[in-house]
């Protein structure tokens, strides 16, 4: 178990700072929200993940320990059902850059798919020929 030595909530910058023996990680609220371990985000099994979008303005309202193994993070959009275990928080800090890039790639792909779908819904028709 990689439990942080210190946890700081920075309301103004909307981030959570986790201090470990090897260093610290600053995790933005948006990043934590889109990677919440809740069923709403992860689904109930492989392939059921739900891409969280438009969370750039989300903030952290509260952080509360859950036993000796996790944090419950409450966000200002009402989401508070994910329990962030110490191991998962450490993973989010350690892999922040690659996970965030993966998220941005998935959002861009979803937006492109929506744009393609919108274009395919448009049917071009030739104007009627005068008689």
117 pLDDT band, cuts 50/70/90, is confident
Domain parsing of the chain, residue ranges: 6-120
12 pLDDT band, cuts 50/70/90, is very high
* % of the chain at pLDDT higher than 70: 92
CB–CB of 120/76 below 8 Å? Answer: no
Checking if the pLDDT of 99 tops 90, the result is yes
Average of per-residue pLDDT across 126-130: 72
Instruction: Return the CATH number of 6-120, one of 3.30.2020.30, 3.40.50.1820, 1.10.10.1590, 3.40.50.970.
Output: 3.30.2020.30
Please give the Cα distance from 97 to 85 (Å, whole number): 20
126 pLDDT band, cuts 50/70/90, is low
Q: 84: Cβ–Cβ under 8 A, 6 or more apart, which residues?
A: 32, 36, 37, 70, 71, 72, 73, 92
Please give the Cα distance from 53 to 81 (Å, whole number): 17
């Amino acid at each position: 178990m990689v439990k942080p030595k210190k946890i700081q909530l920075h309301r103004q910058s909307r981030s959570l700072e986790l201090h470990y023996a090897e260093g610290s990680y600053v995790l933005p609220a948006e990043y934590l929200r889109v990677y919440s371990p809740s069923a709403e985000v992860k689904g109930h099994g492989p392939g059921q993940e739900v891409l969280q979008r438009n969370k750039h303005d989300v903030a952290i309202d509260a952080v509360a320990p859950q036993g000796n193994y996790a944090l419950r993070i409450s966000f200002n959009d009402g989401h508070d059902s994910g329990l962030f275990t110490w191991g998962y928080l450490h993973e989010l800090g350690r892999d922040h850059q690659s996970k965030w890039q993966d998220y941005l790639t998935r959002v861009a792909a979803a937006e492109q798919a929506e744009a393609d779908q919108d274009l395919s819904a448009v049917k071009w028709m030739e104007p009627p020929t005068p008689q």
